[in-house]
């Protein structure tokens, strides 16, 4: 298991993170003659980082981008992860990118369609799990990651790779990648800012017994990098 924890002061966090992510992408491209696949999370933390990353010299045409999770809103909505990342990043680079949602398609059907899309576009492991080259994750102060929130059904999902998850604590539903596909990715980078979130990671690696949705990724992923600001 490879686990690396990078720490940065808040002022330099965005450029620091963009450079670590760029290096990870360049290493994946160097080690692979074909295309690579990357899944991005939404939320606030990635936006200024993607805005820096877009200007770094990378052969974006060899990368396909997918979403880690999505809000159940219109694709035009300001809360739509794909919409926000598209405006800051996808529109500015020459990569393919795939939204989880499509207006006029139910969120249940959209999650089923996305699973098929992953199986058609990614390497599928003997286990049947689609394999991402890199997944960028965030984390909430409740220890959620992707849209795997505490006490929600998707935490138990071990068959489907993309699920529609009811999140009562937010009175909403989210579409999210499930643990099997998150854990089978070649590499994962978790990035966040804030002491409260940092304490969660310290608790997990100190085996203090508290359980958070991010636990499984922290303890079971074979190649994890943390970028903490």
Sites of contact with ligand 6PG (CB under 6 A): 41-45, 68-69, 81, 138-140, 144-147
Residue with smaller CB distance to ligand 6PG, 63 or 67 = 67
Distance CA 227, CA 117 (A): 29
Residue with smaller CB distance to ligand 6PG, 29 or 82 = 82
Q: Among 27, 28, 22, 94, which residue's Cα sits nearest to residue 61?
A: 94
Residue with smaller CB distance to ligand 6PG, 43 or 150 = 43
CB of 228 to ligand 6PG, least distance (A): 13
Residue with smaller CB distance to ligand 6PG, 69 or 184 = 69
Distance CA 94, CA 54 (A): 10
On whether the CB atoms of residues 55 and 48 are closer than 8 A, the answer is: no
Beta strand spans in 98-222 (E): 123-124, 130-131, 134-137, 162-167, 172-177, 188-192
CB of 176 to ligand 6PG, least distance (A): 8
CB of 197 to ligand 6PG, least distance (A): 8
CB of 30 to ligand 6PG, least distance (A): 28
CB of 133 to ligand 6PG, least distance (A): 19
DSSP 57-103: ---GGGEEEEESEEESS-TTSTT-HHHHHHHHTGGGSS-EE--S--T
Tokens linked to 176: 């999210």
Residue with smaller CB distance to ligand 6PG, 29 or 200 = 200
């Amino acid at each position: 298991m490879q686990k690396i924890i990078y720490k940065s002061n808040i002022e330099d966090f965005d450029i620091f993170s963009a450079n670590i992510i760029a290096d990870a992408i360049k290493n994946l491209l160097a080690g692979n003659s074909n295309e690579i696949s990357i899944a991005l999370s939404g939320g606030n933390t990635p936006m200024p980082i993607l805005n820096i990353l877009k200007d770094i010299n990378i052969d974006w045409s060899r990368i396909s981008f997918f979403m880690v999770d999505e809000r159940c809103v219109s694709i035009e909505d300001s809360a739509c992860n794909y919409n926000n990342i598209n405006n800051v990043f996808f529109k500015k680079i020459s990569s393919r990118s795939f939204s989880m949602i499509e207006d006029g398609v139910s969120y249940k059907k959209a999650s089923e369609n996305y699973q098929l899309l992953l199986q058609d576009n990614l390497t599928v492991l003997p286990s049947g799990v689609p394999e991402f080259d890199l997944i960028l994750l965030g984390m909430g102060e409740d220890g959620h990651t992707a849209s795997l929130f505490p006490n929600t059904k998707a935490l138990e999902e071990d068959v489907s790779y993309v699920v529609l998850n009811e999140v009562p604590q937010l009175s909403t539903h989210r579409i999210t990648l499930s643990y099997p596909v998150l854990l089978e990715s070649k590499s994962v980078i978790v990035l966040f800012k804030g002491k409260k979130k940092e304490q969660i990671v310290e608790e997990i690696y100190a085996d203090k017994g508290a359980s958070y949705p991010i636990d499984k990724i922290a303890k079971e992923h074979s190649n994890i990098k943390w970028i903490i600001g």
